[in-house]
Structure 1
């Protein structure tokens, strides 16, 4: 039978356990003590239910004065009992239960939440509690639903293509539970229900929760997972399911911490691997089919003869993963399981190796996964990769075509489990120019959608500010969101540079219409006038000298006006009107560990830097190209008016003269000469 026929033959309806929610809001009350709440709201959700048992999650929102120390009391209408709790101590007294905070979650600020969960038992019925009291104050009212969320039922087991399609688009909870050793170790805050609620409200249908287990389980032979860690993962999984997400969990940095040693110690690694997956599969056996398991993140191995042998090693682990999960029964018998290629690469040999594994498994509920971070020179800004050009486009199209042709065309779904740009990070501005980045984001969305690939954005805090629950760059999110359903237009640049002195003449840009129609140009709510302020001829947009003179105002250095080009569909294209003069530099003396070139940027911004020896050969790291890697070897500091040359740059520079050429986004190039002698460095403008 073909893969398509197998899937149709095994199509059947799965049992979906619905969540029960009691949503309660407070009226106006007076606090009776420092520990009392003037108002509160409780969300009670049953995330899983089975004969005689259930899992519940409770979110408590404090609507009044800040609370430091809390107790939440309730009575079960049907005589249920709490058998195990996490993130609170739950005690019974004459049929009434009280949850008391632990040391780390005692404080609840105004409009903030505390959350806990528990497993319970029931007989006859499992009716949700109808009232709660926080520190003796009754909680009453409603919690508004996510504006874009509607209840969904996962496709029946056996239709992996439809399940993966329903997961589009996806969002990744990066640098959180994958962080080492724990959730906040890499700078992100504790994950909250409010955070998940916000992401879901923005239109994301699935969430990837990468988890590193290495620091959270006991020794051989049982490798028992720490109860607190497992309960915390279950809590966030249950919150996510209750919000309507499809959820994907995995073994994450375990891949390079210990799984990579499998070729040299098959017994030990396999025992540990199967012990962890047996525990996880058992824990989540009866969870919704919207929970998805991914075997390993970015698998890699030491001690093999090369990728071909590593492919075989990965085949053994992926195969055992599927067998372990399926043996646990329940929903796991048909749960969607996700298998990666070696390194999650989309190179054809890696795809072919995984396709062979999937063929041998003969299991209809399998998906393939790859990762995609774009053409490397563009993704990190090295080797002159400053623009979204034909090289970047070809790498994208070829990668997605291979994934489609190897898997999707045969009825095997593909999840691009991570995608972004390697060096894009709000803490390191300027590595990837914003407009060029937007072109890439728009293109990834289009090419994935047209090839039926489900994408999961890797967000380690770069895109979403999790403390403020807002997108750090709303324009970036607007482009991402538009790409889920349509195309957006872009242009040859998102900057129009005007010299600070001299006559101001017209400037032209090329529009990349992507099937759209130009509709107009705006500054805020003001429409610019066609024919007077601008003209459009085919794909050429020209701003008149008269309009630019008005827009630059007093011609202060930097961005003096921001325009938006609007089209028949998709996100608008932002244009910055920039006043500049060619940057200037001054002499400097320093060391290989601390060297800064005084630079007056004068409204311009740095695009890249070349470094060459006297004979024209490349100087510094990556000596196959004169264009050095932005930020890791050099970095502009616009507030200090300097360009820093990093120790990593000088570590691979020979003694003697070196010529630096700085490229700026206005098109200006300036040359600087430096001389390295041991640890001493001197420099001056050419």
Structure 2
């Protein structure tokens, strides 16, 4: 992410035969699951290490199934084994034979029994089990035998390794800070305790962005500051010791100096090559779970156009690959990550990188792009308040293009960063329910298209010392999406006007392949037919229920319900009492202007700004709808709606602006502001 202090902005394919979905009544299929050879420590695994796994569902019925598993050891003989896999859709084992199986979360571990502990080279051991399933019975996509990923051969398989990296997390705004120290952007120094937490949270990989420009000596050798390199090696070593896959890169260097390559070609290339020569030497003995990324979000200034920029990126990627491969050691076969221009999923840029990768004839390369959503939705501008069909299509089209261009051709893909750009300010820029629907579909479709994902976190998600998630509901949705779908709904807000009698309210459920099971208030299941009705995907809350739970009808959320589904996390529904917000006259300046607002239980969705002649006012004058937080922001605690200096900078002097505030209840309120120099006056309609 090209961030300063605050950022602005595959499960990967194993083999095609592994991906088989079982639903009630589906045919029974045997599949061969393969993954990559890798060591569980920071030293390389024995050269002969390898294994293959055949997993077959031998019988299946609604809610249950039996499966057989055959493990072939392609490496040196072993005495005592355990096979580990992750359930992709929440299955559980109920009994086992010829092995002991335990499950922790979604992770299953099968261990030998006394008589089958030894597996010679090219020998096979088999076991079976009975299990349960709900919603779907997806086949596990990778297996580890004594910590070694099973590829079906003794050689590395990049697709399987990238699958094993799912899910991933970014250590953002830390070693990538452009100051003199990793704390210069406000995050604390990285600790082993933090990495313990990342492991405990279920992440399998960690991307460690690193900015080097402040820690380089002068030309021609550009020596990296020894203490800084040692510190990066320390953090990488801590992560590898915890059996995490690790990715390091050149991060903000991309916009600090690499972007000048069109006008300083030789100078940029010399510095770039010097850095990677040093890094290749420093990390060539690190274990195979370390991956190297050529550059973050590559971009170029003052170029002749996109064609030149694509050519320059290809030159950087080629030089990077050649330097690392020539350095020897584990770098000879290490997985290397190559980005598209801007890490964009535009088809022309995907095609350019695919052509480069195919030309290298190197099986250990990974493509990477980033995804932060459909821009109007991602930052809440131009009326992009909902995760609507347009925003959904932007996501599915992007992932379809990436899958078709790379994964379908055997090139693994990592979504090296994902999130929403509105998180730049705080996670409330996008309304909670709409945000959760984005992450639910994101996780599902990434799995469907076999993309490994790495959450961008600059400290706004997981507290670096508290180890608490700032939005527990969000991370619960993200974690659930790693393995299954969740039901959602058209809204998580049900408004009842205090000024009128309560009536029944209907919302549309998005079942997403699940089935509705219950509606709950606290720990109490509500009564179907009395408290609510279900007809297809329509959930109707009765007037009697709403009246009972609204109590004295104070403004705001009176009660919270949870819709439960056969899989995934529940969907929260807030029952809200409101009346139309009341705004008051105000005076202030362009640097400090706030409209007194009695929100009366309602919540602000967006704001329109227009001049009297009907043209758009304020920033982004191609749309009347201004950007949430950037141009305006509600404060429900203090009871004001702030218009920002950025908004007034783009407003004409002495020209009245009509503001239309849109609230989530559907209410609209009109207000007028006029700027005269630095003075601002505001009046009600």
What range is the shorter-chain TM-score in? 0.7 to 0.9
**CA distance in structure 2 between the aligned counterparts of 1:684 and 1:430, rounded to whole angstroms:** 28
**CA distance in structure 1 between the aligned counterparts of 2:492 and 2:260, rounded to whole angstroms:** 48
**Any idea what SS the aligned residue of 1:471 has?**
coil
**Any idea what SS the aligned residue of 2:214 has?**
coil
**Any idea what SS the aligned residue of 1:338 has?**
strand
Q: What residue is the counterpart of 1:436 in the other structure? A: 434
Q: What residue is the counterpart of 1:336 in the other structure? A: 335
Q: What residue is the counterpart of 2:86 in the other structure? A: none
Q: Is the 8 A contact 1:583 1:600 kept in 2?
A: yes
| Range moving further from structure 2, 547-556 or 295-304 | 547-556
Matched, 1:213 2:212: yes
**CA distance in structure 1 between the aligned counterparts of 2:467 and 2:551, rounded to whole angstroms:** 35
Q: Is the 8 A contact 1:151 1:244 kept in 2?
A: no
Q: CA deviation at 1:474?
A: 1.7
**Any idea what SS the aligned residue of 2:215 has?**
coil
Q: Is the 8 A contact 2:303 2:309 kept in 1?
A: yes
**CA distance in structure 2 between the aligned counterparts of 1:559 and 1:176, rounded to whole angstroms:** 38
Q: What residue is the counterpart of 2:507 in the other structure? A: 509
Q: What residue is the counterpart of 1:488 in the other structure? A: 486
User: 438, 454, 457: which is aligned to 1:456?
Assistant: 454
Q: CA deviation at 1:539?
A: 0.3
Q: What residue is the counterpart of 1:654 in the other structure? A: 652
Q: What residue is the counterpart of 2:402 in the other structure? A: 403
Q: Give 1:418-567 correspondences, 5 Å limit.
A: 418-424=417-423, 428=426, 430-567=428-565
**CA distance in structure 2 between the aligned counterparts of 1:50 and 1:377, rounded to whole angstroms:** 47
Q: What residue is the counterpart of 2:677 in the other structure? A: 678
Q: What residue is the counterpart of 2:641 in the other structure? A: 643
**Any idea what SS the aligned residue of 2:456 has?**
strand
Deviations 1:311-334 (A, max 9, x none): 000000000000000001111111
**Any idea what SS the aligned residue of 1:350 has?**
helix
**CA distance in structure 2 between the aligned counterparts of 1:637 and 1:419, rounded to whole angstroms:** 28
Q: Is the 8 A contact 1:488 1:572 kept in 2?
A: yes
**CA distance in structure 2 between the aligned counterparts of 1:479 and 1:15, rounded to whole angstroms:** 30
Matched, 1:236 2:250: no
**CA distance in structure 1 between the aligned counterparts of 2:465 and 2:662, rounded to whole angstroms:** 36
Q: CA deviation at 1:513?
A: 0.4
Q: CA deviation at 1:403?
A: 0.5
**CA distance in structure 1 between the aligned counterparts of 2:206 and 2:426, rounded to whole angstroms:** 26
**CA distance in structure 1 between the aligned counterparts of 2:290 and 2:548, rounded to whole angstroms:** 56
| Structural RMSD (CA) | 2.1
**CA distance in structure 2 between the aligned counterparts of 1:646 and 1:150, rounded to whole angstroms:** 58
Q: CA deviation at 1:496?
A: 0.9
**CA distance in structure 2 between the aligned counterparts of 1:265 and 1:680, rounded to whole angstroms:** 46
**Any idea what SS the aligned residue of 2:440 has?**
helix
Q: TM-score, normalised by structure 1?
A: 0.78
**Any idea what SS the aligned residue of 1:424 has?**
helix
Q: Give 1:604-615 correspondences, 5 Å limit.
A: 604-615=602-613
Q: CA deviation at 1:424?
A: 2.1
Q: Is the 8 A contact 2:494 2:574 kept in 1?
A: yes
**Any idea what SS the aligned residue of 1:161 has?**
helix
Deviations 1:117-148 (A, max 9, x none): xxxxxxxxxxxxxxxxxxxxxxxxxxxxxxxx
**Any idea what SS the aligned residue of 2:338 has?**
strand
Change beyond 3 A, Cα 1:326–1:637: same
**CA distance in structure 2 between the aligned counterparts of 1:150 and 1:681, rounded to whole angstroms:** 69
Q: CA deviation at 1:471?
A: 1.5
**CA distance in structure 2 between the aligned counterparts of 1:305 and 1:193, rounded to whole angstroms:** 46
Q: Is the 8 A contact 1:4 1:411 kept in 2?
A: no
Q: Is the 8 A contact 1:419 1:455 kept in 2?
A: yes
Matched, 1:159 2:154: no
User: 572, 585, 591: which is aligned to 1:593?
Assistant: 591
Question: Can you give the 5+ residue segments of structure 2 that lack an aligned partner in the other structure?
Answer: 1-12, 16-33, 47-143
**Any idea what SS the aligned residue of 2:319 has?**
helix
Q: Give 1:27-176 correspondences, 5 Å limit.
A: 47-48=42-43, 152-154=147-149, 158-176=156-174
Aligned residues: 553
| Range moving further from structure 2, 410-419 or 637-646 | 637-646
Q: Is the 8 A contact 1:50 1:286 kept in 2?
A: no
| Range moving further from structure 2, 464-473 or 594-603 | 464-473
Bigger relative CO (Cα 8 Å, ≥ 6 apart)? 2
Q: What residue is the counterpart of 1:572 in the other structure? A: 570
**Any idea what SS the aligned residue of 1:231 has?**
helix
Q: CA deviation at 1:411?
A: 0.3
**Any idea what SS the aligned residue of 1:177 has?**
coil
**CA distance in structure 2 between the aligned counterparts of 1:459 and 1:574, rounded to whole angstroms:** 25
Change beyond 3 A, Cα 1:224–1:49: farther
**CA distance in structure 1 between the aligned counterparts of 2:35 and 2:662, rounded to whole angstroms:** 60
Deviations 1:468-498 (A, max 9, x none): 1122222111111111111111100011112
**Any idea what SS the aligned residue of 2:421 has?**
coil
Q: What residue is the counterpart of 1:349 in the other structure? A: 348
Matched, 1:314 2:290: no
Matched, 1:295 2:294: yes
User: 612, 617, 620: which is aligned to 1:622?
Assistant: 620
**Any idea what SS the aligned residue of 1:465 has?**
coil
Q: CA deviation at 1:48?
A: 4.5
Q: Is the 8 A contact 1:209 1:248 kept in 2?
A: yes
Deviations 1:571-610 (A, max 9, x none): 1111111111110001111222221111111111110000
**CA distance in structure 2 between the aligned counterparts of 1:600 and 1:467, rounded to whole angstroms:** 37
**Any idea what SS the aligned residue of 1:163 has?**
helix
Q: What residue is the counterpart of 1:119 in the other structure? A: none
